[in-house]
Amino acid sequence: MEYSSKLYVQDIFISPLKRWRTVRIMLPAAYFRYPDKKFPVMYMLDGQNLFDASTAFAAPWGLKERMDRLPLADQCILVGIDNGGGFRGSEYLPNHRHKMFRHGEGDQFLLFIKDELIPKVNQHLRTHSDRHNTMICGSSMGGLLSFYAATRMPEVFGRAGVMSPAFWLYPQVLKLPDKPVRSKIYVMGSVTESRGMRHTLEKTYHVLKNHGYTDEMIKVEIKERGKHNEILWGREFTPMLKWLMHIPDHERK
């Protein structure tokens, strides 16, 4: 029998921000091929840009097709959370006042994922619910918030994919707090997407290393080509996921 991934769409209420939002859940082919197996989950920002050209801002990441091409053993559940349109800037910015976005609401948005969305997903789907199997990923401002989540809430998000992060909007994100646990973090950007991206990525690597992260816990990929768009992020999704999904035996549940 031929198996393929399937996409399910539903709306959910964000209680801390009192807004409704569309969530797109993609179950991989392996979910149907192995009905007794549990799966890691990756929570992804800008959900409308991930799967379908009809809802994407530009070209979609094409994640259904990319997931179907992965070996079944490397597949995971993807939970894409749509951005809030005019609220995107404030929702993806950590809480502080900002001249462009009035004020940040990122902390409340992450609490929604932690306290409302993750429990619902774990209740209704076959998931590994430990931190090592709970990932977050985003691009641009979504990359900023994903890095913030991984370094401020590592007990929730054990792994993070950070694509072309817009750290310039919140430089304080690199002032890392001391935490008893650390997440595994993959950071990627292209030197041709913005003038300061190479410096941002190099600084991120050194900040993490100086804060005690080992090379097993972080990977910073500096690409020589690629624009700041979904084409780049879709292209780099598979190597990012494969690296994040490599879980040492001592961490496995």
The per-residue pLDDT for 101 is: 63
Digit-coded pLDDT (tens) for 202-213: 999 999 999 999
Q: Answer yes or no: are the C-beta atoms of 85 and 19 closer than 8 Å.
A: no
Largest pairwise CA distance in the chain: 55
Q: What mean pLDDT is predicted for residues 65-74?
A: 93
Q: What confidence category does residue 96 fall into, taking pLDDT thresholds of 50, 70 and 90?
A: confident
The reported pTM is 0.94
Q: Which helix (H) or strand (E) holds 200?
A: helix 197-210
Least-confidence region, from 50-59, 81-90, 133-142, 180-189: 50-59
Residue 63 CA to its chain's centroid (Å): 13
Domains of the chain: 6-247 (3.40.50.1820)
Q: Which of 79, 76, 80 is nearest to 55 (CA)?
A: 80
For CA atoms 9, 15, 16, 19, the dihedral sign is positive
Q: Is the pLDDT at 253 greater than 70, yes or no?
A: no
CB 96 within 8 A of CB 103: yes
